[in-house]
Structures are given as structure tokens and as C-alpha cells.
Structure 1
Amino acid sequence: MKINEDWANGFFSAINEENILKRRESNTTEFKEIFDWKNKEFKSNIARTAAAFSNREGGVIIFGVADRPHIIVGIDDYDSVDDADISVWFNELFSPSIEFVRREFKIGDLIIGILQIFESKNKPIICIKDSAKTFDSDIYYRYSARSSKIKSGDLIYLLNEIKDNEKDNWLKFLSNITQVGIENIALLNSVTGELSSSNNTFLIDDAILSQIKILDKYSESHDGAPAVKIIGDVVDSAKVVEKTKNIFEEDIFEAFLTERSSAKGIDYISSICTMNSEMYPLYYFLNLDFVKPEERFKYVELIETRFKNRNRVLSRLSDDGKIHSKKSQYSLTSSGVGQERKNIHDKIISQEELVLESENDCKLVLETLFSLEKDDADIKYLKHQIFRIFESFYPFEKDLINFVFRWSLTYIDFIYYKEI
């Protein structure tokens, strides 16, 4: 994730007329209304969140956005400290170091501060000192919209991931050595500046070392420069690919409900693979790319990602029984809440405009959707009603309704678009 003007324009495009940002906190996003570096509890909380992001896939802490609803309020003191102050504080509490960059963006007349935390290359980041919100020896991890102590299963996964990555790197390195010949190999220690070969060791001056850039393009020549020989499989890396648009959770919902897509279906599915759950509309976006049912699994399997959610998406494509089981969870009965759902169900069948005056009204409608069959209602009518909910109430105050909203869209996608 590259935080630049394009990213900011995409992320903050979801601001409505009331200056509310219609996006939720997630495993990569945290909102803070203020930036108060003088407050010890505030500083400690930021460090804890940064460590949690760093131990997962990285993320952004956004300052100047109020909590529930996410009104853009802005800040005016983001430059009251410099990067060195933040770095010293992080290093005081955690080891290894947490890498970050800071940016400011102007949204209307307001300043928004962004603290981007990078995924650590040296996991796990471990707390080495108690503070207001951190405790010595703890490892923090990002769970949806929370930064908390890592669970045993995720710690085991993280440690296995480290071992697997190290093994893969060694195998690639040794494979390249065999092609070049061990007598022709030299190793550069980018920390000390030592360049060692089988015959000699050279020390590169600090001034030169800081200017060395790793070659990351494949070229025969450039402005008369000599050709570069790259050892290894370069087929994928040599391709010129179109830059993928930043796609957020809300963009997935809106594209599905309005049927107005700003990217290819595979781009939306690739974004789903980075999410915390596999329960999102899938089949609509696969159909958008004209993928035949028998080719869906292979199509998604070819998505290159290090996020483990892709495997969950593939499992869904193999067996979607979990979605269908939701049908029995919200019954239509002759009394209580069941009767309210039954009344809504009858209105949907008649294609009447639904009453949506509160979050509870929305919750009942979303629960009722699980009782529908494909032939019960026109999909255009249904999406219009759900989009009214999305426009007026999303994100919901209650996390449970956010959960039901996502699952209900997944169910509608399942019954209307799985079979084509």
C-alpha cells in the first residue's frame, strides 16, 4: 500500500454531504480524532497500534477523523513533533524497530495526518518496556478494528511464516549461485558497507553506500548503458502491468450494489484476498470478467498474494455451504421479531419501498434477506433497497449490524450470481 495523493483521493472520496467518512476501521486502518503527543496514554496507544500493524501486514493511523460517526474534523498540531521523536518512543517500547512514514493531506480546508506503519521484515515486534497501554514481553497483533495481544494460533502462524520465508530465500539464493558459479559471487553487507568475494574484501565508503540503489527493472539497455543480466525466473517481473486501483471494503459494497465498477472484477477479488474474511460478494465480480463456473477456482488461484485470506476465498469456491446455512438463522414466525421479518419479507415480495428510519429497521431488513430465494424478488429492486441502507446508515454504530450487512450481501451474491 503506497500512501500518496492517489490513495488519499480514493480513500477520502467516501465523504458524504455531512462531512462523514463512510469507511470503517479495519485490520489496516485506525482513526484518531486528535494528535496529542504530550499525552503519555495517547503515545502508548499509538505505539501499541503501530506494533500490531507491523506484526501483521502494516497499516495506517489516520489523525483528524472522529469516532462514530467518522466525521472529518482535522488536526493542526501534526508537525508539533518530528519523526525522530516518534522513532525514539517506538524504540523505547519495542524491538526490533518499527518502520513508518508520515504524511499530511488537505481534505477541503482541513488537515489530516497519516502515520503509515510498514509490515516488519523482522517479526515479531516484541514489547520491551511497560507503559500506559503496553506490557513487557507482549506481542501485539491487528484483529479487524482492534490492536490486542496476539492469540496462540496467530503466533504459531507468524513463526511458521518466518521460517518458510527464510527457507524460500535461501533456496532462491543458492539456486542463483549455482547458475552464476560460486567463484563469481560477491556479497554486499548493506549495513557495514563490506563487499566480500572469495578473493577480496572491500569497504564501501558511507557516502557511496547511501547512494546505492537496488536494481528493480528488467532492461537490455537504457540510454546506451550496458545490458543487465538477471539470474532467475523473470517472466512475471518483466511484465508491464497496469497499476491496480486502491479498492477498499466500501468500494466493493458500492460496486456490487450499484453495478458501477471502476476496475476489473479480478481487482475487486484481489482486494478481498487482503481482507480479514472471505465473506464478500465474489460471483458478481467473477461474472464481470466473464469467468466460467468451472474456471473460477483456477482464476482466483492465480492471484499472487501473501495474504492467507486467499485460501479462504478458494475454500468458498470449493464449498459455499457456510453461506447457505445462514438461511435458517433468521426465521420468519408469527410472533415477535420473526413476525417483523415476515412483514418485511412480504413487502419485498411485493417490491414495496421499505421503511428505513433506524439502524434496527436496517438490521431486520438485512436479516430477512437470508430467507429469500432467487425467484422471490427482482435483483435491481433488491439492490436499490440495500443501497438505501448503505447510503443512509453505513457504517453502523453497532458492529453486529456491520457484520450482518456484509454477510447479507454475500448471501444475495450467492443466490443470484453463483449459477449463470
Structure 2
Amino acid sequence: MRLGENPFSDSAIANLVKTKSDNGILHVLTRESATKEFKETFMWGSIGLYARTMAAFANSRGGYILFGIEDKPRVAVGLTGKSKINFDDLDQAKLTESLNQLFSPEIHWTLGLIELAGGLTLGAIYTFESDDKPLVATKNYQQQNAKILEGDILYRYNSRSQRIKFPELKRLLDDAKLREQRAMMSHIETLVRAGASNAAVLDFSENILKGPNGQTVLIDEGLLDQISFIKEGEFDEVAGAPTLKLVGDLQPATAITLGENRIVRTALSSDDVLGDFLIRQNVGNPEQYIRQAAAGTTGYLPVQFYRVLARLSHDELYAYVAEVATRSPAKKRLLERLSTASDMKVSPPLADSPHPSTVERRRFYDQLVTGGAGEIEIVTASEAQHFLVSIKSLEDEQIHADVGGVLELMKMCFDVYYATDSKVADALRRASCRVDSAMFGSA
């Protein structure tokens, strides 16, 4: 299972642990495997042992550590007593820090609970398969029966976590080499299509764009509004229009810091418009943010916040957007939203709906209404999407009451899931428009 998928969905855990009841004893028919390890209790003192297993899972196919299952015989007892308290009180930030101190690259994991027959509950830590194998131990570690040596590469063999053997290590290294070669070939193919004399190389290590003869390529600021930035495969020819062809995503973020905690970005992207809104950045060029919202790739970006910073009325905002010279469909959508005074609000999720997505959204909605954003924990991309959709059901005064907490969680979704999950990205943009309207929509 890859990062972003939900390891605790109904389909994922449906057959995870098979049991059979016999005279009130719940026997576990499932055995430990390459993706499952059983523990009777959860103790912080055994974190080193869990870390070994998690690193082994990350280097292989991912897997679950399940707490609440006795060994010999395998009997489900569930999380009880001190073990349950320890699991419930697990400091996720502390565990993440401990893992990062032991292994590199980062281990991605999440917590969950699994209900069994008879009302028993298992605790579970799921470790995602790494996209950047192999994970390597970065220092020596000794704790009770957990021993890790610097340079160790751990791997999951059937029901055991141990140092990797040569065949598996060779395969991991070959896979990493193949990924690198594919990435390089993609760049070479692009270069061949463009022609060496027409291509430049962007060196991210030095932040320099170099031409074929070593010259540095600069774009005058006065030309930016005249150039159509397009991605390969999205070309729409207009005679005479100067066009800069980009391969991949351009993310300019050059900023000049002014007084009073203000910044001016000299090159803007739609992501800057969204990201700076989520931290309510006091920008020094709000009109350019509005322009980018109209000329970008989506019609759903917050603009009322920047209207307030620019000291524009609603009518002045509409007129400003209408005058932006662009063929982007985002302008039309934005003007439609402004002309209808759309606040992006939707009805609350139905409380009695059996649909899993609606149930998740209702859960987040109820948490926001009753306990506030501080009670909410998001550990998967799916949960992030449902949380963001639930925001659109809040009344204006409910958003006002806890806007700081709501925006903090939204910023976390932006940092963790926005770049890798299109559903989260769309939900985040729309939720931002809802919060933007509630907080700054009054002209």
C-alpha cells in the first residue's frame, strides 16, 4: 500500500485478522506474515523493536503491527489496561522524531484501531511501503532485545524482520537505479525533441537556468504579462503570441521582504495564492494575487482576503478581474462567483446516510461544530479530503469562531497532500474559497 491510501478502510481490514470463537476464547486463525506482526501489549519501552519492524516493512511491501494478540496460542485479547492507555496516549510526533533519528529516508506510518468480534479492539501501526528504498539505519541503537547498527538495512522475510540479504538488496538497488535512469531518459527525450540549440537546463542545486552555451537566461519583469506560460501537451496556438514552453511545473517563489511582516513575491503561482491565504500572509502586492487567481489554472482560489489587503470594494474587485488580459477559463469562473456572490456553502452531510464518504464527512463536520478543529486528527489523504469538504457546510459564524484552528489544519493538508493528491488539491481550493468568503466576503 502506498502513501495516501487508507490502510484502515473497510476493504483493507475486511480479512486482515480472521478469528474463531471457542468457549468464549477468540482464537486467531491468521498467522504472522510478510505484512503482519502480532504483539500482546504496547509499551513505549519497546519502541526500538517496533522501529526495526517498521523499517523492514517500509523496505518491503508495508505492513501492520497489531497489538492485542497473544502468542502460543494465538488468542485475541484486545488492548486493555495499561497497554490501552499507552497506545491511546502515544505521542505521534515523538515516535516520528525517534524514527527519523534512527532511519533515513523518512518512514511514513499511521495509527488505527480494528474491531473484532466480541467487542475486542486491536491497536495497529501501519507502515507504508517506501517510494525511496532502501531505508538505512543512521546510528547504532541498543534497547532490551532491539539492536540496530549504523548502516543496517532491514527487510521483512515472511514473519521475521532482519538484516537484508544480498538478493533482496540487489533488487532494491537495481530498482533505485532504474528509477534514476527513467527520470534521466525523460529529460534526454525532452532535450532531443526540443533540440540542443533550443534547450536550457534548470539546475536546482544552484537555482540557475543556463542556455546551451553556458549563458544565464533571464526574463525581464516587463515581459511577464505578455508571455503565455504553457505546459507541454497543453499548447493552444495563437498567432503572434510570444510563448515560453515549459516541461514540468514552474514554481517561482522569489520574494522580497518588506517592513511590517509584509512580503512581495516577484513571480507568482496559483499555489502561492492559496498558500499565502492559508497563513494570512500580509502581502505587499495583493492586486497581483488577484490577477494570478484570474489568470491561473483554476477558478477556485481565495480573492476576498486579497481584496481587503488591496482596499477594494466588491465592485472594484469585479472590475479589476474583468480587465485582466487572459484567455484562462479561471477568469470566467471567478467572475461568475463574484457576480452571484457565491459563498461556496453546501448543506451539512446527512447524519443517517450509510455511505462511507458521507459518514466520514459528517464525523468531521460534527467535530468542527462541537469540539473545534483542535479535536481533529488527519492521517490519510482520504481523511484530508473528507475534512476539507466538511468545511464548506459550516456557517459563517462557526468559521469565525475557530478560523485559526481550521486554517492550521488546512495548511497541514496543503503541506502534506496537496502536491500528490488531486482530490485533496481540489477540495482544499474550494474549502479555501468557503473560508475566504466567510471571513472577508463582506464588501
Give the shorter-chain TM-score range: 0.3 to 0.5
TM-score by length of structure 2 reads 0.42
TM-score by length of structure 1 reads 0.44
